[in-house]
A and B are shown apart, each in its own frame.
Chain A
Amino acid sequence: MLTYIARRILQGAIVIVLISVGTFVVIRLMPGDPTYLLLGEGEIRITQEQMEAIRARWGLDRPHHEQFFIWAWNLLRGDFGDSLIRKGIPVRQMIFEAIPVTAILNVTSLALALLVAIPAGIIAGVRRNSPFDYSTAVGSTLGVALPNFWLALMLIVLFALYVPRWLGDLPLVGRIPPFGLKSWQGYILPILVLTTEQMAVLTRVMRASTLEVLTQDYVRTAYAKGLPNTIVLVRHAVRNALLPVVTVIGFRIAFILSGTIVVETVFAIPGIGRLFTDSIFRLDYQVVQSLVVVLAVLVVAVNLLTDLTYAIIDPRIRIN
């Protein structure tokens, strides 16, 4: 088991190196020069020498491989470098300020989603073709079908603008601000949007895998042995049905980024999604590179955990 984990960590390290090289190359393929943004959009009476001085100041005049090794070496020592745009702010600080924001939103919505999705999926699977199954199917299908920035805008228009106008403040919640996380009410809409999608995806997967498992031989055998329904369900069905859900959660970690970009942009939340797109659009190389590596480490770790979870849930998978 230990050697397995060690090997996986090594493999993870390889993935991370591949990703960091890939990102480094890819972002430099993009046409555009961040120096121009440093100068601002303004009317610039600037000479070529002044321009070079700025480039030299930020190390942009060095050969690419040299820039890479400088960055990689610093990264290994825990120094993520400085942002090209937000000068004076270490990239590490930018990233570690943004991560908790995104993490809170996503963990909360994932937890809420699981809380609903697992029981809903199981019941829908067991009581197949019941009214509950149909309404779950329609609800979760709809949840997946809603483009999230559309949903986000609609919710803002509705809850921040019209609801207070029609009804005044909401009971318990009060007034929902249109953007930002200044108060706890600010979390309501972003989490609602994120939860809608997660819940829909997870319910579908849970229902599908419950159905899958219920037709497996060992479940049939268990029923055949005359074991009570609930025991069969919990002991055999649910545990195995959770496998695909674990997979989906595992891969959704990587999707956090794309999922939250829209939500963070619309609700003006300073998380990693916005940091990432802002930095890409401003060619802030240091931030993009480092952020990708941090996320890669996260994803690799989650993947490892997913596989280990598999091994625990499904003892048929031998680790060797």
Chain B
Amino acid sequence: MKQKQTLTRRDFLRYSAMTGSAALLVACAPAAPAADGEAAPAAAADEAPAAEMSGPKQGGTMTWVGHQEVAGLSPAFMGPTVHWVMIINIQNPLIAIDEFNQRELVLAKSVDVSADGLTYTFQLHEGVLFHDGTELTADDVVYTYDYYRNPDNGAPIVGSFTGIGSVEAPDKYTVQVNMDNVNAASLASWATVPIVHSAYHAEVGEETYSTSPIGTGPYKLKEWRPAEFTELEAFDDHFRGRPNIDVLREDIVPEPSVRMIALQTGEADSAVWPLLVEDSIFLEEDPGFVNFRTLANSIKHFPLNNSIPQLAEKEVRQALMHALDRQRIIDELWNGAAQVSHSNLTPASPYHHTGLKQYDFDPQEAMALLDGAGWAAGGDGIRAKGDQKLSFTITTITGDQARRPIAELAQLMFADVGVDVQLEEAPVATILQGMREGTMDASLYNWTYGSAVEPDPFSTLHSSGGNNFAQLNNARMDQLIEEGLQVVSYEEREPYYHEIQEIFVEEQPVLNLQFDEWMNVFNARIKGLPEGPKNSSMYQQAYKWWIEE
């Protein structure tokens, strides 16, 4: 990795809308009220030396609120945000991607990638201690990678390790990963998986480990009640120095308005899962709080099942794009805190294609396209072609109060051009299966089709991708995705990803709406927070922060 290249934690790519970077947006957002000195985040941007005791204070409890239970604390659970914020503070990865989208060496002292892109060599820090006092060695890394990439162990993160052939430990502090295939996206994924205590994990097994993990992180597990709270306490011998705040706690509060009240009353210091946009903006105006706005990588979109007759023609999907007043959705339902998406890649990506076809709100054009494709207006106002009505169901996540209004407004916009949309709700597990297997018509989701740093959309746009919700099967698209992963340099990759974006906007396999601004609110008593972060992964830096009442 000689060239300056930013990597993203695999998790960013994965979990809905976690990360993003858009300097321009952050600048125009009224971020932290700078007028009030107390509220402005204390400067600690780069290397806040935690050892320096002059500024930071020791002690206190910092409480975060999450929306779903923390089902386990092993690396296998690192997908969802509510889990990740705890897991990453208990265990450390070799490499992290920080909140500025920059690569940060954690357990690794250095990384070396061979010219052919097939060998990764990591030098580990020496003297890194686990919570039980034993020292971290290369064997722990080998064990962790080998355990979680073994399909027989059934770890959900097994997909992160695709492409790895073998992992070796030439000496106590060196790890060598040999790849079977070049995979430009892979370092960002598996290198960010936290390392477990190998001897302990081997002894107790994954299941027990996930209830009582031992890592090298700044915090060690104190008490864990999955549906109620997770409480961590400072690890005195952490290799980067003891964290300032004594206790780190995540409370699980499912009700959105109650999370908001918890922040307002000081019961919680931050919401790891964003509050309602309205609530975040309300707190942003309060000098007692700091709000970070970061542009999400994921698109808020309606995935469409391209294999059902109503939605199989690209003219229909293009017409649906024209029928949507996307700026209106952002203005009226999202408080303007989002950008219309004109591509599958965020504008923050260097691969973002600016010369793409754009779908402006144009109901006339939409109707012309539908007429042209043979979908004639019927007596009941719903278009049809033969016996097939132009009608489909959008299934939203049960209780997803924040996003469902978008589907309701879209339903009315589609009705204006003669397209009938039914709305249903279903649990996430039902939607994931329905969309992945093509038994559901459409949904409303935040999902990445390539991120700010890694443009690869394999899982969502490749015909064999695990999240090919659109059931897209485009030979040229598949070819471009496969070949794009085989090349490493920016210049060489660009043509592939530009063409992918061109196909995306021509085919419109999904209806892309907007890139959200992700909002993370903190109580201003938390000091040492980053300034102008570009993604919401700041929670892994909690060891640097301190509390000032």
Interface residues of A (CB under 8 A from B): 30-34, 36-46, 49-50, 53-54, 56-58, 82-83, 85-89, 97-98, 153, 156-157, 160-161, 164, 177-181, 265-270, 274-275, 278, 280-283
Contacts and interface: CB of A to CB of B under 8 A. Distances in A.
B1 interface: no
A282 B427 contact: yes
A280 B71 CA distance: 15
Nearest to A89: B211
Contacts of A37: 428-429, 432
B140 interface: no
Contacts, number: 181
B14 A153 contact: no
**Max count, chain B CB within 10 A of own CB: residue among A37, A38, A40, A267:** A40
Interface string B70-85: 0110001101100000
Contacts of B158: 46, 50
A49 B207 contact: no
Contacts of A157: 257, 261
Interface string B418-448: 0000000011111111101001000000011
A286 to B, nearest CB: 13
Contacts of A34: 429
B531 interface: no
B206 A41 contact: no
Contact of B79 (A40, A97, A98, A278): A40
A57 B154 contact: yes
B14 to A, nearest CB: 3
Contacts of A269: 228
Contacts of B120: none
Contacts of A49: 151
Given A88-B210, A160-B261, A180-B251, A50 B429 contact: no
Contacts of A36: 429, 432-433, 436
9 contacts: A33-B432, A37-B429, A39-B156, A43-B14, A43-B459, A44-B14, A53-B152, A181-B228, A281-B427
A30 B434 CA distance: 11
A266 B255 contact: yes
B226 interface: yes
B228 A268 contact: yes
B392 interface: no
A273 to B, nearest CB: 11
B429 A44 contact: no
Contacts of B257: 153, 156-157
A87 B210 contact: yes
B465 interface: yes
Contacts of B162: 45
Contact of B15 (A30, A40, A57, A266): A40
A234 to B, nearest CB: 45
B55 interface: no
Interface in B518-543: none
A161 B265 contact: yes
A282 to B, nearest CB: 6
B226 A89 contact: yes
Contact of A30 (B226, B430, B431, B432): B430
Given A32-B432, A32-B434, 12 more contacts: A31-B434, A31-B439, A33-B432, A38-B154, A40-B14, A57-B152, A88-B209, A160-B265, A161-B261, A164-B265, A179-B261, A283-B427
Given A41-B428, A86-B226, A268 B466 contact: no
A268 B254 contact: yes
A179 B427 contact: no
B445 to A, nearest CB: 9
Given A43-B459, A164-B265, A281-B427, A53 B154 contact: yes
Nearest to A161: B261
B208 A88 contact: yes
Nearest to A98: B227
A281 B398 contact: yes
A252 to B, nearest CB: 24
